[in-house]
Amino acid sequence: MSFLNSAVENQIGNDNNLSGGEGENDLSAKLSKYQTRDPIPNDNIFFIELGFGNDSHGQSATKASIRACRNAIEFNSIPSIQRLLSDSGGYDALKLDVLLAIPSKYQTNELDLDKVVEVFPYGDVRVDIQDGGMVTKSGIAIDRFGDVNDDMVVVCASVIVGH
């Protein structure tokens, strides 16, 4: 195992905070749906994209995660994939390893991974979650926006694209 894969595996394996919280079994089940294959080996990585997103009102880790994933992929184009992977299926043969760094207090059953994965137009998506991101104050809670407090939820995303 290479240094990067070892470091990523240690980070994912040790920092995952899906136990002890309300709805942990449901979130773990949702996550397991997107962990049906091994992570992409280093030799098969094309590139790594990073992004961040936030939800200023409503305290939705789903919205922040969607925005982080969109931010990671929105300025990229990979037109040569069809040629590079023509023997194995082109764009549909791509594998995406998505790591979401979400504040632990917002790693709840409310997180809708199906909606997050819809951001990606193609490929086999694998998702991992770790503690991270940030919770900061917006300075105001607005009832009509669904605020339960004045938290702003910030999520960071790493999207590894490979085959």
Q: Which amino acid is at 112?
A: D
Q: What are the φ/ψ torsions at residue 135 (nearest 5 degrees)? A: -120, 125
**pLDDT computed for residue 25 by the predictor:** 64
Q: What angle do CA 70, 49, 120 make, to 5 degrees?
A: 40
**pLDDT computed for residue 18 by the predictor:** 46
**pLDDT computed for residue 84 by the predictor:** 85
pTM above 0.75, yes or no: yes
| Number of other residues whose CB lies within 10 A of the CB of residue 26 | 13
The one-digit pLDDT tens for each residue of the chain (163 residues) are 333 333 334 333 333 444 444 455 688 889 999 999 999 999 999 999 999 999 999 999 999 999 999 999 999 888 888 888 888 888 888 999 999 999 999 999 899 999 999 999 999 999 999 999 999 999 999 999 999 999 999 999 999 999 9
- Collapsing DSSP to helix, strand or coil, 151 comes out as strand
Q: Which amino acid is at 25?
A: N
Cβ within 8 Å of residue 72, ≥6 positions away: 49, 50, 51, 157, 158, 159
**pLDDT computed for residue 149 by the predictor:** 96
**pLDDT computed for residue 155 by the predictor:** 98
